[in-house]
Amino acid sequence: MQEDAGGGLVFWHPKGSKIRRIIEDFWKNTHEEDGYDVVYTPHIANIDLWKTSGHFEFYRSDMFDQMDVENEQYQIKPMNCPFHCLMFKSDLRSYRDLPFRWAELGTVYRYERSGTLHGLMRVRGFTQDDAHIFCLPEQLQDEIVAVLDLTETILSRFGFDKYDIMLSTRPEKAVGSDEIWDAATTALKGALEQKGWGYEIDEGGGAFYGPKIDLKIRDAIGRSWQCSTVQCDFNLPERFELEYVSADNTRERPIMVHRAIFGSVERFFGILIENCAGDFPLWLNPTQMKLLPVTDAVQDYCKEVAAKASRMGLRVEVDRGNERLGKQIRNAEQQRVPVIVVVGEKEMENGNLAVRSRKLGDLGSFQVDDMLSEMKRCSDAAEEFTMIGAKED
């Protein structure tokens, strides 16, 4: 945070930005592998969009004031979903085209009161890992199961595998028929039961526009954090008059599913920091390896190794070598660098590296290519780096 720019606005400094990029790249790649298209939408839109969506009427107190653009009112976005509705409506859709799965890391802005702001957990500008699925009624349960599978895949990568799950049902005031509510609620229940996940029911706790599943993750010390949500929506397809051509050539409304896995990148990052106490695993660490030159004579060799590692996609720094070796090692350990490499003239002459793990201590001396290849493999697989089984020099 940089308070002189305004409360609740997040500044991502270089190391945090590296971690964010790694998280976002993993998120995008995993979504594309799972059949999603990644999209981008504007940060502002004409106020008429927010009137159509209902946000101007029902959510106005949580939105920033409008801005005047050539005598028209524009609104900075508090949500991504209306844009995805416009994208669906931009062409005539057939039942054969469905489902559409559109995912977006979309930054939104909400007027949180100053007393409610809390670190990275509650801010005024944040990036939702949003996705919207437009599907046929008969596709709904399979799509929800697929969302839960994807949620499990992504969260487990970050070490979260214990969940508290709530299924929220129709509130007293709601839009949509009893029939469609019952069908959607049955699909949500069926998906959870198909996954074999236990859950509690929050009777009447759903949004006015549809039932939902909320998933809380538990961190390393047992704290529970709200992150993932899957919500059926009968309201926006009606408001935007979304249609597809059915098999009998009639016009029907699609089912719209909102879902997020992190909730927001900022909040999830805050949870991640809490969960690992700032000690990020190899695959996420902004500096995966630090090379410690014993003398100035090996600086060029260290830079060559670092350049080779960087070309492989590893994140490496070379210490300037201004301190004694013991101090260099302590500094690297305090910075929680997972792999520390001591480089002297002997290593330079033999073309190898003396490798040290911050957690495991000295691992031995290895040829550069062997060491970097194993480190790359461990990083890609999100494994701890040990060099077990590699041939020592």
Catalytic machinery residues: 81, 110, 128, 130, 132, 212, 258
Amino acid identity at 289: M
Q: How far is the C-alpha of 82 from the C-alpha of 237, rounded, in Å?
A: 10
Contact status, residue 201 vs residue 169, Cβ threshold 8 Å = yes
Amino acid identity at 330: R
Dihedral (Cα; 95, 101, 104, 109), 10-degree rounding: 60
Give the total residue count for the chain: 393
Q: How far is the C-alpha of 102 from the C-alpha of 84, rounded, in Å?
A: 8
What string of DSSP letters covers 286-317? Answer: S--EEEEESSGGGHHHHHHHHHHHHHTT--EE
Q: How far is the C-alpha of 268 from the C-alpha of 158, rounded, in Å?
A: 10
DSSP conformation class of 121: T
SS3 at position 141 = helix
Please give the helix or strand (H or E) that residue 112 lies within, else none.
none
Contact status, residue 308 vs residue 372, Cβ threshold 8 Å = yes
In this structure, the number of other CB atoms found within 10 A of the CB of residue 124 comes to 19
